[in-house]
Amino acid sequence: MRIITGSQRGKKLTALEGEQVRPTTDRVKESLFNILQFGIEGRRFLDLFAGSGQIGLEALSRGAGEAVFVDASRDSVKVLEKNVAATGFQDRSQIVPGDYAVFLAGNSKPFDIAFLDPPYRKGILQKALPLTARQMNPGGVILCEHPLGEELPERAGEFQRGKSYRYGKIMLTVYRREEEA
């Protein structure tokens, strides 16, 4: 696992091993950032269910102004801390160990981009989407990674489901405010 492009291009990242971990593939990661195109520079990025933090770190490498990483797993947070230090992004990173819902309920600074990749097929994504939608700036975008066949709601607060992209058994679905969709 590595940073694909930007200031830390080629930097190797550490990932947890085991069945519970499912790092985003380079193909899906590249596609995710192609969807965002040039909308990353200076933006506030939320990597919810961050795991190793590779998506938020990729965003920082590509010029995001700040990234907030949230994960409930202590093991993931330890790996995330190592990866943030290895990339040198400590000054633009905030690591939040804990439950996504508690974080979103207490967050007071909105995001421009949010990436959600919770454990699959547990209904977590459907619960996290409306909570995340309330934390977004106007013009914000929410990207969800989920398995093929998992149904996502048409709406999440003021956000409308947009295009979905398929990569084998993995889907990326984009949500934008209704007037921007």
| SS3 label, residue 130 | helix
Quick check: is 72 in a domain?
yes
pLDDT tier at 72, thresholds 50, 70, 90 = very high
Measured distance CA(169)–CA(149) in Å, rounded = 9
Q: How many domains are there within the chain?
A: 1
CATH code: domain of residue 140 = 3.40.50.150
Quick check: is 12 in a domain?
no
In total, the chain counts a number of residues equal to 181
In tens, the pLDDT along 3-35 reads: 888 888 888 889 877 555 567 777 888 888 888
Q: 15 — phi, psi (to 5°)?
A: -135, 150
pLDDT of residue 181: 52
Quick check: is 19 in a domain?
no
Say what percent of the chain tops pLDDT 90. 72
Structure tokens at 155: 């709406």
Q: What residue type is 132 in one-letter code?
A: T
Quick check: is 99 in a domain?
yes
Domain of 163?
28-180
Quick check: is 56 in a domain?
yes
pLDDT tier at 180, thresholds 50, 70, 90 = low
